[in-house]
Chain A
Amino acid sequence: MQLRLTCKPADALAASLLAIAAITLVAFAQDSPPPAPTDVLIKNAAIMTATHGNIPNGRIYIKDGKIAGVGPKVSAPSGVTVIDAGGKYLTPGIIDSHSHIALDGDVNEATSPITPQMMMIDAFDYHDKSIYHGLAGGVTTSLLLHGSANMIGGQAIVIKHKYGLNRDAMLFPGAPRSIKFASGENPKRVYGSRNQLPSTRMGNFAVQREALVQAQDYMREWDAYNAKVKNGDKDASSPKHDLKLEALADVLRGNLLVQIHCYRSDELLTEIAMAKEFGYKLRAFHHALEAYKVADQLAAANIGIATFADWWGYKEEAWDAIPWNAVLCMRKGVRVAIKSDSEDFARRLNQEAAKTMRYGGATEQEALQMITLNAAWIIGVDDKVGSIDVGKDADLVIWDGYPLSSSAVPSKVFIDGTVYFDRSLPGFGMPYYKEGM
């Protein structure tokens, strides 16, 4: 306001011109509103369903963003948009079950080894171009996790790669909550290097156990209070609300899917034992490069793995990694996903999945499931996405080339029945993104 008082007329003119320019820029940079779903019939596609084999020359009818029909002879009402896939391969959208993109570097709240109250939604940088890069690689859904600095990190978000839309439009509706645990080298290195607890694997697990014991106490206090209130005790005083312990209590109550960063086989077993001790379930081990050594135990506990196809040797606990891990575990009954953990690899998870066909002889459908249906299960959204089945979200990729190969490139990517990426378009290839967003 002071500025305006001292403005000379020429400055005022300049200022208003600037203001107009700024408004124009803002108008140009608006996020796109979520588009209304268009009903679509895709025909002439080599459909890889991920659940029930392939349909050469197949059709998919998309109604209200969902798959309403799939097969060799699917009809659709007249007037729907018809897309001729030209005989190209079509797969479900790729699902990345371990990602740290779009968090603007805020991956680790590495100030305490137990930070379950951290919400990745609060760091979600939905303008991050990595979302676009993944989309262009066929990724339609990602689980954005806290990092592995802490034994118990924070709560994840699940996004759909609708780049160009606003923040909330990118969140996966109805996806369950996941929480990230970690173990091994990272927590002990991060805190050990500061001469803090934990600096050993003993310390790691002691810190985790102690936090869970606190959460049990917290639950007991609240249970006692709630019981008193229920019994009409008007003098009962409420325990303190503790965000951190509340989050851990939700782990114990089974309200969160527990995703654990864990490499070594002994630690995989320790985590299983600790979950048993405290009565919570584990959804999946992430990285899990030594899972092949204890695959029977993982299968028995119904714990999935989200692993790399062939990464190894980047740290001591990755020294026993072998590229046959995924298939050895799968053959023992473990649900296996191949994930990126990388803004780079997220762009070509199809190639990573294809490696399992070479290392261990996964079938085409098994390989595809590792980046679709199995990943969806790990995230807890396998009832909504991860395969081409009636009733699921129409998250689809039409490919130039055979998807499980070195040279395949997504041609078109659909999310909820809408094309969010089209390689043939100029510029960035995205109908709902405008430069300057």
Chain B
Amino acid sequence: MRPFDPLCPAGAQDPCASCPHLCTSFQGIGFRLFSFIAALFFVGSLASAQQKPVALGGGKVLTVSHGSIENGVVLFENGKIAAVGAAGSVQIPKDARVIDVAGMTVYPGLIDSETALGLTEISAVDMTNDLVEPSDEIMPHMHVYDAFHAESELITVTRLNGITNAIVAPASRDTLPGQDSFIQLAGKSQDEFLLVRDIAMPLNFTGEQRRNERGEGRKFPSTRMGLAAQMRQAFLDAQDYAQKWSEYEKKKADYDKPKTDSASDSSAKPADKDKDKKQPPNPPKRDLRLEALLPYLQGKKPVVLAAEESSDLQAAVNLAREFNLKFVLNHISHSQSILDYVAGLKVPVIVGPIYEQPKSEERFDAVYSLPAQLYKRGVKIVIASYDSHNARNLPYAAGFATGFGLPYDEALKAITLNPAEIWDLADKLGSLDPGKTANVVVSNGDPLDVKTDVKMVFINGNEVPMTSRQTRLRDEYSAK
């Protein structure tokens, strides 16, 4: 029973049993409906296999996980990093393509933790936008992978700046706008781009989700109270729904169980037993909206809890706690007064956008300095572009944070290893370590600086062509 299963690219009926792809399954709470699967299939296991080993030698290697190596070597084969070390310490296979990157900087592919890549092409042209379904506030059954357009020009443009992976999120118009996908920015087919189809669910509580604020249409909800009540009801409904299915599963198990004499009640009439046997329990009606909430109620996947003001943040956290949701925080742009409270929550924070305008009563750098302030309090921070066309500028946001006190290494981590960790992909992404996916960037300098030119990008060990529609236009009009 997986008609909505997004996970198996082959569309197999039972992906857990027969899917040839590298699916990692998380079993549900005991019945098939709840067997949610995170599709952690990587391209290396499918098509686009790296043809031959590549050794990048002579550059400055920023491993992110264990410091930097001047004159280092990064070796990768079959789409995975095979070795990272000082020149001479790495055995390079005879058939390897050896690339001299002396004077260059080598670092892991950057990870953008909130984008609209693949959901928009030309912002002002509505027909190219699939950003959010605004017809209702509670839309957890919207899956961005259903709209994701892998052939978007934006993706080729973005990866030229060394961004190799990204979260694709629905826009924040709804409190529960749907489910995020985790992508890599290259592949031969849609499936290769979509590394994890449903990775997390945004829960937005920034005030911007209100509609009918001025009473237009007199439609519920028009206030934060209304939005919160509506969400609370949705989670309660989902809990009831889970209960119904659980009861059904139990009845069904009883029904399927072979009868034994000792279990039979002597006072019961034989006819009743026959009747029970003839009528199996009816399954409850499926509800996609409530189904979509279950992995979050079960704490299997993170909710991305977005709030800006300290009051909204605490209200949203309380709501999340009511339902034992596992969450990471998002934005918190104007919550400077409760950073100790935030630190006390012991959850990671996707902070920003760092360019969010300060409020009138705030100092000019109130938002700029948030990453540093959080880091100082021991919070794991992640920096995102929150963009589509300008997602390519992700590293500069991290660089900007260093101007306001964030240590450089932490800024780099905030767009590599930290996002890999919060998205539970640190075994595959986020640093240059043997065994991880070979998403590797070569540039002529500091990865976080605007002046730095990215020279090569490898995704899954494959060299990405350094061309886009923009480079083609440049070349066409630069020709003498």
A311, A313, A323, A357 interface centre (most CB from chain B within 10 Å): A313
Pick out which of these stretches binds chain B: A5-13, A70-78, A406-414. A406-414
With A312-B470, A343-B357 given, is the CB distance from A429 to B364 under 8 Å? yes
Judge if B249 is at the interface, Cβ distance under 8 Å. Answer: no
Pick the residue among B121, B400, B453 that contacts A348 (CB under 8 A). B400
Starting from the known contacts A312-B470, A322-B471, 5 additional A-B residue pairs (CB-CB under 8 Å) come to A312-B389, A322-B473, A344-B357, A409-B403, A435-B361
Q: Which 5 A-B pairs have the closest CB atoms?
A: A406-B399, A136-B364, A315-B124, A407-B403, A313-B389
* A405 CA / B450 CA spacing, docked (Å): 6
The reply to whether B403 and A313 contact each other, CB–CB distance below 8 Å, is no
**Complex interface residues of chain A between 368 and 407 (CB less than 8 A to chain B):** 400-401, 404-407
A303 CB to nearest chain B CB (Å)? 18
Judge if B207 is at the interface, Cβ distance under 8 Å. Answer: no
With A132-B364, A351-B396, A406-B399 given, is the CB distance from A316 to B451 under 8 Å? no
B121, B157, B395, B477 interface centre (most CB from chain A within 10 Å): B477
B4 CB to nearest chain A CB (Å)? 32
Judge if B279 is at the interface, Cβ distance under 8 Å. Answer: no
In the assembled complex, which residues on chain A have CB atoms less than 8 Å from the CB atom of B399? 405-407
A429 CB to nearest chain B CB (Å)? 7
Complex interface bits, B124-156 against A, C-beta within 8 A gives 1, otherwise 0:
110000000000000000000000000001100
The reply to whether B364 and A315 contact each other, CB–CB distance below 8 Å, is no
In the assembled complex, which residues on chain B have CB atoms less than 8 Å from the CB atom of A351? 396, 400, 450
* A316 CA / B393 CA spacing, docked (Å): 21
In the assembled complex, which residues on chain A have CB atoms less than 8 Å from the CB atom of B474? 292, 322, 324, 328
* Nearest-neighbor residue (CB-CB) of A350 within chain B: B450
* Nearest-neighbor residue (CB-CB) of B403 within chain A: A407
The reply to whether A313 and B450 contact each other, CB–CB distance below 8 Å, is no
Judge if A185 is at the interface, Cβ distance under 8 Å. Answer: yes
* A343 CA / B373 CA spacing, docked (Å): 24
Complex interface bits, B356-389 against A, C-beta within 8 A gives 1, otherwise 0:
0110110111000000000000000000000011
Pick the residue among A185, A318, A355 that contacts B450 (CB under 8 A). A355
With A129-B360, A428-B363 given, is the CB distance from A406 to B390 under 8 Å? no
* A431 CA / B94 CA spacing, docked (Å): 67
The reply to whether B389 and A314 contact each other, CB–CB distance below 8 Å, is yes
Pick the residue among A292, A316, A343, A347 that contacts B124 (CB under 8 A). A316
**Complex interface residues of chain B between 396 and 422 (CB less than 8 A to chain A):** 396, 398-400, 402-404
The reply to whether A316 and B355 contact each other, CB–CB distance below 8 Å, is no
Judge if A133 is at the interface, Cβ distance under 8 Å. Answer: yes
* A407 CA / B449 CA spacing, docked (Å): 8
A17 CB to nearest chain B CB (Å)? 26
Complex interface bits, A339-361 against B, C-beta within 8 A gives 1, otherwise 0:
00001100110010011011000
The reply to whether A358 and B451 contact each other, CB–CB distance below 8 Å, is yes
Complex interface bits, A157-184 against B, C-beta within 8 A gives 1, otherwise 0:
0000000000000000000000000000
In the assembled complex, which residues on chain B have CB atoms less than 8 Å from the CB atom of A321? 470
With A316-B124, A322-B470 given, is the CB distance from A357 to B451 under 8 Å? yes
In the assembled complex, which residues on chain A have CB atoms less than 8 Å from the CB atom of B452? 358
Judge if B233 is at the interface, Cβ distance under 8 Å. Answer: no
A405 CB to nearest chain B CB (Å)? 5
Judge if B122 is at the interface, Cβ distance under 8 Å. Answer: yes
Judge if B337 is at the interface, Cβ distance under 8 Å. Answer: no
